[in-house]
Structure 1
Amino acid sequence: MALTGLVLDVVTKVVAVGQLEPGRPVPLLGGLLTLLLIRNPGAAFSTGEGITPVFALAACAVLVFVVARLVPKLGHPAWSVALGLLSAGVAGNLVDRFARQPGPLRGHVVDFLQLPHWPIFNVADMCITAAAVLIMVLAVVKNVGIGGERYPRGATPAQSAATAPSAGRAVVDDGPRREVEDA
């Protein structure tokens, strides 16, 4: 999922840069979608334009956290999709931060999709948004943890963890008695 989203983002940006002229909108679908090429030095809604390196470093930290801390805990296919989408989106915009002008850690993100009354965005932004929605549905609506565990309605993961066996230990049932061994 992450690789597919990243490739789709990079390819669409290459096509947009090669085919669109900055400042010249191309209306599609009766104006429902407009292609308009811009270079965004900031974050969402062009906020923080003066701190582009901070966004690049934050994106690096997010990717490291997802890969090192969350991916090893995956135990549910929908969480795999959510983290794949998140990784694709973060990595897609990070590629721009490193590879585009004015230079590494300061590169401007290519945005080119616009809906009526909405800021211009790209495929990476769509991946991040879809990931956020899916994470909220899984964690809040469905009460499914990243490992696939289901929490009782109204209980938080922290409350449920307090009643679960200790992390790193497995319960072994080898007959009438139960022992706890280190996993």
Structure 2
Amino acid sequence: MSTENPPPEQAASSSEDAETTPASDAPKGGSGKLLALLFGVASAGLVLDVITKIIVVAHLEGNAPLKVLGGLFYLDVLRNPGAAFSMATGLTWLLALLAIAVVGVIVWLAPKLRSPGWAVGLGLVLGGACGNLGDRLFRAPGPLQGHVVDFLSFLAPGGQVFPVFNVADSCITCGGILVVLLSLLGRDYDGTVHRKQKKADRS
């Protein structure tokens, strides 16, 4: 009796199987560079946030909103005790603790990064979280109760079109979108890429 290999059609499947492969562009042993990228992005975002808040508080707080870029934005300084969209205004202390937790998680995850995209995304989130956390820790009315300085109002003053925000909020939003996009594309923080490979249908 002769033994024959099963026809290729029997080995094929119409289902999609997940395939995990190392990212071709993932740095090998390059965690030092990625750490520098992450904390460099975070530092840039934090410094920009702090500087802009100092300027608007010193020169614009208490004044009428200032139109910039032809009315695309209005500089309108507000003190926000809550989260984005003025939610949880009575839970400032909890928001501060959540920000501390976010910072801790990113710092813990940082040495494991092998993806430049994740480093940039998490760096933006880290910088933004530290910026708003600084307000909650050091601004009035006191530690863990401080109100965040918001000053960017889109298209109209007073948050009529979109809630007033700041540079830190923008960093958190952009970083979060980048991390979600990378996840949807199957790119993990450790440099691996998850691909779905569709095998040939049975003939």
- How many pairs align? 152
Corresponding position: 1:105 with 2:149: no
Partner of 2:133: 94
- Opposite residue 63 of structure 1, the aligned amino acid is V
- Opposite residue 121 of structure 1, the aligned amino acid is F
- 1:70-115 per-residue CA deviation (whole Å, 9 max, x = no partner) reads 2121001111000100000100000000010000000000000111
Identity of aligned residues (%): 49
- Per the TM alignment, residue 153 of structure 1 is displaced from its structure 2 partner at its CA by 3.1
Contact 1:89–1:123, Cα closer than 8 Å, also in 2: yes
Partner of 2:31: none
Corresponding position: 1:65 with 2:108: no
Q: Distance in 2 between matches of 1:66 and 1:133?
A: 16
Partner of 2:182: 138
Structure 1 stretches of 4+ with a deviation exceeding 2 A read none
> Which one has a bigger Cα radius of gyration?
2
Cα RMSD for the two superposed structures:
1.1
| Length-normalised TM-score, structure 2 | 0.73
Q: Distance in 2 between matches of 1:132 and 1:62?
A: 12
Query: Which of 57, 61, 81 is matched with 1:17 structurally?
Result: 57
Contact 1:143–1:153, Cα closer than 8 Å, also in 2: no
Partner of 2:30: none
Which segments of 5 or more consecutive residues in structure 1 lack a partner in the other structure?
Answer: 155-183
Corresponding position: 1:55 with 2:99: no
- 1:135-178 per-residue CA deviation (whole Å, 9 max, x = no partner) reads 111001x2100011000138xxxxxxxxxxxxxxxxxxxxxxxx
Partner of 2:118: 79
| Length-normalised TM-score, structure 1 | 0.81
- Opposite residue 172 of structure 2, the aligned amino acid is I
- Per the TM alignment, residue 21 of structure 1 is displaced from its structure 2 partner at its CA by 2.7
Q: Distance in 2 between matches of 1:17 and 1:40?
A: 13
Q: Distance in 2 between matches of 1:93 and 1:121?
A: 11
Corresponding position: 1:123 with 2:167: yes
Partner of 1:166: none
Equivalent residue runs for 1:154-173 within 5 Å: none
